[in-house]
Amino acid sequence: MLTVVSDTHGTDGHRLRGRTLAAVREADRVIHAGDFYREPVLDAFLDENDSLSGVVGNNDDAAVRDRLPTDRVVAYEGVTVAVRHRSRSGATGLALFGRERDADLVVFGHSHRPEFDDSGDVPLLNPGSHAQPRGNRAAHAELEADPAAEGLVGRLVTTDGEPFRRFTVSPDRE
């Protein structure tokens, strides 16, 4: 399983709880789309799962910025995932970012709003925030290989374990 989180905004711990904590611990790979906030938060995530692939968010301190890139590409189960915290030009900029990296999916954070949008040529996934939802559901995303087809099946899940949006991601989507 691939677990996707973002926008922790912590000072001394990962602030994971409930299903989100279990999903991070169970994951083959974890993506964090930025805004850990302070270096001890990054270290706390690594203590839970050392397969973490994180990027820098706009609120991360210098120590986090020294350790993580602003964007990255992650391969998982035949799907290419481009990751960055945000784009100043919104969905258009995120889609361009994904196309430039030949990605099958773009993961981003920043808004704290969990969403999946496959209306464009590159699907966009924001897992929301598990720790500071700002009026949205506290959430994360879980993706797994689709046994019936190529690609991944995914879901947005509350920290209490309630799935509220299901989706699929296919490689080389046309």
Here the tokens at position 33 are 């789309």
44 C-beta neighbours (distance < 10 Å), count: 18
pLDDT score for 174: 52
Which three-class secondary structure string do you get for 34-90?
CCCECHHHHHHHHHHCCCEEECCCCCCCHHHHHHCCCEEEEEECCEEEEEECCCCCH
Of 82, 81, 42, the residue nearest 59 (C-alpha): 42
| Distance from C-alpha of 169 to C-alpha of 4, rounded to nearest angstrom | 14
pLDDT score for 173: 57
pLDDT score for 48: 98
Element counts in the chain: helices (H) and strands (E): 4, 11
- When computed from its CA atoms, the radius of gyration of the chain, rounded to whole angstroms, is 14
| Phi, psi (deg, nearest 5) at residue 27 | -65, 145
Who contacts 112 (Cβ-Cβ below 8 Å, separation ≥6)?
A: 6, 7, 128, 129, 132, 133, 134, 136
pLDDT score for 172: 72
| Distance from C-alpha of 87 to C-alpha of 64, rounded to nearest angstrom | 19
Show pLDDT as tens, one digit a residue, over the chain (174 residues): 999 999 999 999 999 999 999 999 999 999 999 999 999 999 999 999 999 999 999 999 999 999 999 999 999 999 999 999 999 899 999 999 999 999 999 999 999 999 999 999 999 999 999 999 999 999 999 999 998 889 999 999 999 999 999 999 999 755
**List of domains in the chain:** 2-169 (3.60.21.10)
pLDDT score for 88: 86
Prediction pTM value: 0.97
